[in-house]
Amino acid sequence: MTEGNFVDYVKLNLKSGNGGKGSIHLHREKFITKGGPDGGDGGRGGHVIFRANKNLWTLFHFKFKQHFSAGHGGDGSKNRSSGADGEDVYVEVPLGTVVKNAESQEVLFEFTADGQEHILLKGGLGGRGNWHFKSPTRQTPRYAQPGIPGSELQVIIELKVLADVGLVGFPNAGKSTLLAALTAAKPKIADYEFTTLKPNLGIVPYRDFRSFVMADIPGIIEGAAEGKGLGHYFLRHIERNSVLLFVIPADVDDVEQTFQILFEELKKYNPELLDKKFAIALSKSDLLDQELTQEYQELLLRVFPKTPHFIISGVSQQGLDQLKDGLWKLINTSDEMD
């Protein structure tokens, strides 16, 4: 999936339908000149319903349509006939979508299961026809209720990427190169920081026709948890990943310090992220000779003795099979280890 097609933040304008008017009608037939009231009720206005769809991956389909209006209810008629209900409008969103009130920023709903539905705006009720208002002292009421108007709401929908593995690291750490090497995704790759500005998703093929989803999260910078740069927009995508893979390039000055900075940013943003399973990948190992590779291996064993770690290169394909094996094991044992 290309970066340009990945839309993860959209503002929508929603409007439910108006309720139909109740009918004011008195029953008349050939031999009944003064029949009683028989005006029917108005139909309800259409709802605005959000529905989760597992086949959607981004909010790209909202790029050119941000206004959704449901149908209005029909008016009542004679013989106590009710008006037709207004047509509901369904807004389909991918799993991991959060819907917020644009004005108050209140979270209205989150979608995490396929087919999950939520009526975000109810249509207005139809008015009651005049036959409801007859009584012994008022036998021919000549009034009925108008329909209740529909509601309007402006919402913000944000997507938190759902993936098995999320790549976490500083800008230009080699995450996009790794994703391109493991999947058929074609992320933008260049030798400058913040090449990736939107998450890229790819499917990693594994043994026996199995696979898992990997997400390349845009680079985190120190201070991201406080909103520095585009910190909040980037960090929210990490929340829905089962496993986090910290990608640290081999050409950094201090591997341990780099990891601690990334770790602290996640902790500040949401301490619950620390409950996830994670692994460490030392990328760009094609820059290392055999002696340096051995030194880094010993360093990783010493500093991260209980954390799965890998020395890899997306360019030379070094260590990628071992990485896939390790990630697959983490993905499929994470529930047991929580």
Angle between helices 175-182 and 320-337 (to 10 degrees): 100
Domain count, the chain: 2
Angstrom distance (rounded) from CA 166 to CA 158: 18
Q: Give bridge partners of residue 263 from the DSSP assignment.
A: none
Quote the pLDDT of residue 17: 96
Angstrom distance (rounded) from CA 230 to CA 83: 50
Quote the pLDDT of residue 15: 97
Quote the pLDDT of residue 251: 83
Where residue 135 sits, what CATH number does that domain have?
2.70.210.12
Quote the pLDDT of residue 296: 83
Instruction: State whether 323 and 225 are in the same domain.
Output: yes
Structure pTM?
0.65
Show which of 89, 124, 159 is a domain's final residue.
Answer: 159
Instruction: State whether 214 and 325 are in the same domain.
Output: yes
Quote the pLDDT of residue 306: 84
Residue with tokens 């799993």: 95
Residue with tokens 């593995």: 165
Angstrom distance (rounded) from CA 16 to CA 28: 36
Instruction: State whether 272 and 328 are in the same domain.
Output: yes
Q: Render 12-52 in DSSP notation, one character per residue.
A: EEEEPPPPPPPP--B--BTTBSS--B-PPPPPPPPPEEEEE
Show which of 144, 159, 174 is a domain's final residue.
Answer: 159
Show which of 159, 176, 202 is a domain's final residue.
Answer: 159
Low-confidence ranges of the chain (pLDDT < 50): 1-5, 187-197, 222-232, 334-338
Quote the pLDDT of residue 120: 94
Where residue 195 sits, what CATH number does that domain have?
3.40.50.300
Quote the pLDDT of residue 217: 75
